[in-house]
Each structure stands twice: as structure tokens, then as C-alpha cells.
Chains A and B, each alone.
Chain A
Amino acid sequence: MALYSRRRVLQGAGLLLASTALPSWSFAQDTPSGGRLIVAADSEPRNLNPAIVASNGVFFISSKVIEALAEADFEAEGGVVPRLAVSWEGSEDGLSATFKLREGVVWHDGQPFTSADVAFSAIEVWKPLQNLGRIVFANLESVDTPDDLTAVFNFSKPTPFQLLRNALPVVTSVLPRHLYEGTDIAANPANAALVGTGPFKFAEYRPGEYYRLERNAEYWGEGQPRLDEIIYRVLPDRAAAAGALEAEEIHLAAFSAVPLADLARISQVPGIEVVSKGYEGLTYQLVVEINHRRAELANVEVRRAIAHAIDKQFVIDTIFLGYAKPATGLVPQNAPEFYNPDVPQYDFDVAKANELLDAAGYPRGANGVRFSLKLLPAPYFNETRQFGDYLRQALAEIGIDAQLVNNDSAAHQKAVYTDHDFDLAVAPPVFRGDPAISTTILLRSGTPAGVSFSNQGGYANAEIDALIDQAAETVDTEARTALYNTLQEKVAEDLPLINVAEWGFITVARTSVLNVGNNPRWAVSNWADVALEQ
């Protein structure tokens, strides 16, 4: 851990600065260039390939190396700006979408980027392998490449272009065809040593220590990237991030790596700023995942009782220290386009929860316990773990004995999403601007085991499946929104999972880091314009 001593880092940064300072000054007089940005990383994903695992833990590192067709933006029309694609258009009938690609882009290994890479990624990776792509591109039939810079997506059933556009930043990470074609894509070595077109090249990974990305001198963005290097220092101990920031060992800790309890204090430290912007496109939802294979949990009355047992306001005030909102249902309030407030609510009411359980035929035993459950809190965030501690206590109040099982990230994902070895799990899924991107997957039946952040609880409801499928093919925006409103009602009634809270994250950075939080997906964007004041 101590390999990157501060002196060595500073020495290295100085040398690198000397070698790159002159050329970069020629076109960037006002913004500083060069330097090594050191960032706290709290987890080490097993598979770093964002085209296969579209999750923020992976994007946090890989989005700097592998780019998508477009990126989210605060001002742009439709909320997205071009990256590898320069323009896009959907057909009236929703059966095709045309993307014009950027000219003169090369892969990090020198090969040219063409529409064949996009076609390959879409057909061979996004649709069959990606956790989110298999939903968004469910009806993708083929991708035509009339020339090197045009890709035409053909769909077998109408696919709303609004959904495609909302999904572009998340599901369209383009992989180099020449490295993946004809190989076992899921086991390709390039999943760990990434090769992309992004502003930074993947340089080195030392397990338990750091990831190192270095400047891609051939990047298409003029004068970008500004930084020479990004180091992700693995700091699994969250309490260490604040100390490392104050000691100037790291420049930045994103995703609330600095505990919320520490924010009030650290915002007073000179040279450090607390930024809450930059997470608008990634609303996290605190959700209780339910394994419907358990007879008790397959009973909707039991699920309603559990919902009544959770004091959302306590969770907001105590665990999130006010940096969150109580959830009213499947869609968060900051997605006004889809949010439906008129759904059944489950107020905090322990007496009612106990009544429901008694009526459902689960009386308390001699020791006051109705039945025991295995509860797996996701280890990704302080808040999910603390909510696990809270939920155990909340369930004890209604006579359900929840036994906590703590795992690391890899073991947790395997236990929940592959082995289904859980009864309740605490998960932080993300709402990404459209329910069809990463929200309906939590409900739709039929996802094979092993797909992370999907419905692995064995929940199968034909009515909900039909609504999801219909909305996925409805091109008309109003009709589509109406379908999602119905879906929210059905979900609140049947509770396939329990939404507890929704929150955005906090970035804590040294003030020397420039352009922090300047787009709605900032932490997982490409950081081509991030700079360090020397």
C-alpha cells in the first residue's frame, strides 16, 4: 500500500510535467495541463469491461479508457452530447436508428475505429452479454455498416428512440472488434487490460494497490486530455479517504467515499471542497431485494409487512444524514417525466406489520420469532451496510430474525445474482433517466442467473412482464409514459422489491482539481477536461 509514497508520486508528477508542459501550453493557455490525478477507489471490480458490466463501479475506471457513442450533458438538447457518434436519428416507425460516427478516431493499439467495431459490439456484446444492453437492445436484429462512419441499427420490433438516446451513455461502450472477434468475449484478457478509444490508456493494475491510466496522446478531443495520468488508489477503508485527502495523498474521492458524517467537518478544511453536483444522471435507489423462492417471502402480505416495518424517515435522517429522499415507489422523484406519486404507500407502522404477519399465518414462536431470514447487505457503500444493520433491527421488531451475512463485492454478487443464496438483500440499483435502462430489469422475469443487478429473486409476474414488454416497444412517448405509470402502481401493490430511499452522491476534492461535477454523470464520464492546478 505504501508503494506510492507521496514523495515518489510528486517526483513522478514533476518529471512528467517537464516532459509534456511545452506542447500542451501551445493550445491551452488558460487551463493548466499535465499532472497526475490521484483518486480514491473503493472497490476492485473483477471484470472491468463496461460493455459487459454496465455498472458505475466499472465505469468509474473504465469510462476513461473505453468510450460510448454519447455522453450525458446538462445543457444539450435531449440531454446527450456526441462522443464516438457525432449525430443520430431514429426512424418514425421505431424500427431503425442511424448513427454517424466520428472521423479519425484510433484505438489505443493504433488500429482505426470504424462502424464495424460498433456493429460488432452491438451484436456480439451489448445485446447478448451486457446486463443492461440485453434489455435495451432486446429487439436489435442487425447493424448495417454502409460505410466506415455510418452504423444503422435495425430492430425487429419498434424500439422507442427516446429510450435509445437516454441509454446511449450507459449501454454503448464500444469494444475493439479486432481484439474480441473470434475469442471467448467474457474471458478475453482485454477485459482486464482495457483497450479503447478514450482519453486515457490502461497502463497498469496492481491488485490491492492501484490502477494506473496514462494520457492517450492520439485522443480525438483537441487539447485533451489535460491530465498526464490518473491513479486510482485502492482505499477500501472509507475512513481513510478523508485522511488521505487532508494529507494531500489523494486529490479526489467520489461516490461519497468520505463518510457523510465527516462532510460538515471536512468542508471547513482549506483546500478541500465538497461537491454534490455531477450525479444527477445516476440516482441511486436503496432497495430491499427479495428472494421469492422463500415460501414466506412469496406471500405478498409478508412483503407488505416488511415494508411497513421500515421507518424511511429514520433511514434518511440517521443513515443518510439528510442527504437523501424517502422513496415512494419504483421511479425516483427527480425523474418527473416518469414519476407517478399516486401509488399505494406503506407507512411506518409496526403494529400493522405485526397484524399482517399474524393474519398471513406466521405467528410468533415461544422466543418471539416468526421465522428466520438470511440478509445480505451489499458491501458497496457505507449506507447499504448500515441499512443492513438497521433492517435487521427493524425486522426484529416484527418478529423476523434476520441473520446478517457480510461478503466482499465479488462474493456478494456471486451469492445474490448467481447462487441465489439469500432471502433478503440490500441493493443500490441506479435509475438512469429511463425505466427501461436499468430499472425494469429488476422486475422482469427470465434473466439468466449470473446477470448482476437484475431480477435474481425468482419473481415472475405475467402482468408486470407484459407491461414491461409493451412499454419497451411503444414508440409514442405519451403511451409509453402511461404504461410506466401503470407499472409503478402494480409494483407498489405487489412489492417484488421494496424501495426505501433515493440519493445522489457527494464528491470531495482538493480545490486544485478543475472541472469537477460538470456533467450529470461526471464521476463515470471520461474526464478528458479534468485538469490539475499546478
Chain B
Amino acid sequence: MSAVRRFIGSPEGVIGALLLLVLAAIALLAPLLFPGDPLRIAGRPLLVPFADPAFPLGTDRLGRNVLAGLVHGARASLLVGIAAALVAVAIGAIIGTLAGFAGGLVDEALMRVVDAFQIVPGFLLALAFVSVAQPTLPVVIFAIALGAWTGPARLARAEVLSIRERDYVASARIIGMHPLEIALREVLPNAIPPVLALSAVIVAGAVLTEAALSFLGLGDPNIVTWGSMIAEGRSVLRSAPYLSIVPGLALVATVIGVYLFGEGLATMLARRDRA
């Protein structure tokens, strides 16, 4: 409970959490707020914002409701961000734990694989992966995770290196637990918290990477995402800039929210360590 109090004590964490809560609520309620396909042609094309109460944020080139796109786009952005971070953290934590716990040759081999992934820029990796496979949502998530799992892997390994010397690990060994069992049941859970703090950064990065992929036309064309909305608005940027600005602002709000939340999380963990 004291951890929660510490989190609340950090203003940036609270602001971030509030922003994320609002976004999550919007994302979860999207099918209720705007039922049906948000890409449906709903009205006159290129209505400017605040002109028609039925379309508070206007309509795009084909007459699709910008607000509906924005709300449904929050689903895609958050889904991709969180799922990619989960996959990255899961892969990273498991590989890092195994490497750190096993040591020796296994450690060397796994860490060289991590190096190999780290030297390729994450966005480039995602770009290559998506253009080879078909751009569907799971592929995009996996492609982003592919470039993001190395950070958690290194962090988890460093944590494990210190944890494995602790007494409770030694006692687990003595009572005859299988090494793999020790690694996954005793060491991994204790190595996870700092890795989780890192995950906020990964979520923010993943949201941006997804938007960039969609902007380049490498997203799933059948769902609305903020990146594809910005790309869509680009052809009329001079005459209808709001089409790109509105989803751009949403993107900024999300990334700031995730970032502040991550800051709060990190502060909380740092104070725990000091205590």
C-alpha cells in the first residue's frame, strides 16, 4: 500500500495515470460511443471541425467521421503499444533471466543474440518485417516487439546476476529444485519490477512506431489508426490541416501520458530501493 502512496506522491505519475485512464476509457468505450465501422462514409466530405454538431471534429476526404476515427484509433494505438510492450518484456525477461541464471556459454550465446538485435535500429527492423509479412495487427505488434525486447533482456540479466547470489536462491538449490524452476519461479518474479518500469518507455516507443508504420502505408489498411489518419490527411494538408493535426495531438497526449506514468513508476521504485 505504501508503494501506491509513494506513486500518488509524485505529481507526474498522477497526471500520466489520469491521461492514460481517460484514453483507456475512450478506447474501451469506442464501440459504444461510435458503433459500427469508423471508416464508414458518414457525411459530407471535408467538413471542418466545430461546424456540424453531428461531426464535432469534422469529416475527411471521403466523409468519414474524424472523431469516430480518433476514438477507434485509440484502441489500435493502445492495443499495439501495450501488446508490443508485453511481448517485448516477456521475451526479454525470460531470455535475460535464463542468460543471467545459467551463465557461462548459454549466457554468452544469448547475449550475442541480444547484441545482434540491438545493432539494428528497431524501426528499420519493424519496417523490414512488416513489408515481408502481410501488415496485419499481430504482425505489426510482433514486428515492434522484435526491436524492443533487448532492453528488458539486458536489465533482467543484470538483476538476475545479483539475485542469484541471494540466500533464498541458495536454499532453493539445497532443497533440490530444478534449476529451470528456480530461474522461473524464484528469480524471475524478483527481477521483474525494474523491467516493468522500463515497459512504459517501450509502450511510448511502440505507439510511435505503429503510427510511423501506418503513416508509411504499412499498417493494417482495414482498421483506423492515428498514423493512417495523419497519412490520409497529408494529401490535403494545405487545405484541411486539421485532418493531420487532430490525430497528431492525440498521439502527443498518449505518448506524454505513458511517459509521465513511467516516470511516476520509476520514482516509486527508486524510493522503495532507498527505503
Q: CB within 8 Å of B: which residues of A?
A: 237-239, 242, 259, 261-262, 264-265, 314, 318-319, 382, 386, 389-390, 392-393, 396, 403-406
User: Which chain A residues border B37 with CB–CB below 8 Å?
Assistant: 393, 396
Say yes or no: A404 contacts B41, CB within 8 Å. no
A261 with B40: CB separation less than 8 A: no
Contact B62 A392 (CB under 8 A): no
Interchain Cβ contacts under 8 Å between A and B, 23 examples: A239-B234, A239-B235, A261-B61, A261-B240, A262-B236, A262-B238, A318-B45, A319-B62, A382-B235, A386-B62, A389-B39, A389-B62, A389-B221, A390-B62, A392-B39, A393-B37, A393-B39, A393-B40, A393-B41, A396-B37, A404-B222, A406-B135, A406-B217
Q: Which residues of B contact A237 (CB under 8 A)?
A: 234
Q: Which residues of B contact A389 (CB under 8 A)?
A: 39, 62, 221
Complex alpha-carbon distance, A242 and B235, angstroms: 10
CA distance A396 to B63 in the complex (A): 16
With A318-B45, A386-B61 given, name 9 new contacts (CB 8 A).
Answer: A237-B234, A262-B238, A265-B238, A318-B61, A318-B62, A389-B221, A392-B39, A396-B37, A404-B222
Residues of B within 8 A of A239 (CB): 234-235, 237
CA distance A298 to B214 in the complex (A): 34
Chain A residues contacting B41 (CB-CB under 8 Å) are: 314, 390, 393
Alpha-carbon distance A262/B237, docked complex (angstroms): 9
A389 to B237, CA, bound (A): 19
A72 to chain B, nearest CB (A): 31
Distance of A389 Cα from B217 Cα, bound (Å):
13
A261-B236 contact given A318-B45, A396-B37, CB 8 Å threshold: yes
Chain A nearest CB, measured from B238 CB (Å):
6
The 9 A-B residue pairs with the shortest CB-CB distance, nearest first, are A404-B221, A259-B235, A261-B236, A239-B234, A406-B221, A318-B45, A239-B235, A393-B41, A404-B222
CB distance from B73 to the nearest CB of A (A): 15
Cα distance A361–B237 when bound, in Å? 45
* Contact of B239 with A265 in the complex, beta carbons under 8 Å: yes
Contact partners of B236 in chain A: CB under 8 A:
259, 261-262
State the Cβ distance, B32 to closest chain A Cβ, in Å: 18
B127 to chain A, nearest CB (A): 13
A396 to B45, CA, bound (A): 19
Q: How far is the CB of B115 from chain A (nearest CB, A)?
A: 29
Asked whether, in the complex, the Cβ of A318 is within 8 Å of the Cβ of B63, the reply is yes
**Is B62's CB under 8 angstroms from A262's CB?**
no
Q: CA separation between A239 and B61, bound complex, in Å?
A: 14
The answer to whether B162 has its CB under 8 Å from any CB of chain A is no
For B238, the chain A residues whose CB sits under 8 A away are 242, 262, 265
Q: Min CB distance, B35 to chain A, in Å?
A: 12
Is B134 interfacial (CB 8 A cutoff)? yes
CA distance A133 to B45 in the complex (A): 42
Most buried by A among B41, B134, B234: B41
Which chain A residue has the least Cβ–Cβ distance from B234?
Answer: A239
Give the residue name and chain of the A residue nearest to B220 (CB).
A404
Q: Which residues of A contact B221 (CB under 8 A)?
A: 389, 404-406
Q: Name B235-271 residues within 8 Å CB distance of A.
A: 235-240
Within B2-41, the residues touching A (CB, 8 Å) are 37, 39-41
Distance A261 CA – B236 CA, assembled complex (angstroms): 6
A408 to B: closest C-beta gap in Å: 9
A404 contacts which chain B residues (CB < 8 A)? 221-222
In the assembled complex, how far is the CB of residue B232 from the closest CB belonging to chain A, in whole angstroms? 9
Give the shortest distance, in Å, between B231 (CB) and chain A (any CB).
Answer: 9
Q: Do B61 and A403 have beta carbons less than 8 Å apart?
A: no
Give the complex CA separation of A389 and B61 in angstroms.
11
Residue in A242, A314, A403 whose CB lies within 8 Å of B222: A403
In whole Å, how far is B128's beta carbon from the nearest beta carbon of chain A?
A: 14
Q: How far is the CA of A264 from the CA of B236 in the complex (A)?
A: 12
Q: How far is the CA of A96 from the CA of B240 in the complex (A)?
A: 58
The residue on A at minimum CB distance from B135 is A406
B37 closest partner in A (C-beta): A396
Given contacts A389-B62, A404-B221, A405-B134, are A261 and B39 in contact (CB under 8 A)? Answer: no
B118-161: CB near A (< 8 Å → 1, else 0) gives: 00000000000000001100000000000000000000000000
Residues of A within 8 A of B240 (CB): 261
User: In this complex, what residue of B is CB-closest to A238?
Assistant: B235
Interchain CA distance A242-B217 in the complex, whole Å? 20
Q: How far is the CB of B3 from chain A (nearest CB, A)?
A: 44
Whether B40 contacts A262 by the Cβ 8 Å rule is no
- Bound complex: CA A123 to CA B37 (Å): 54
Closest to B235 in A: A259
List which B194-212 residues lie within 8 A (CB) of chain A: none
B residues less than 8 Å from A259 (CB atoms) = 235-236
**A-side contacts of B239, CB under 8 Å:** 261-262, 264-265
Nearest CB on A from B53, distance (A)? 22
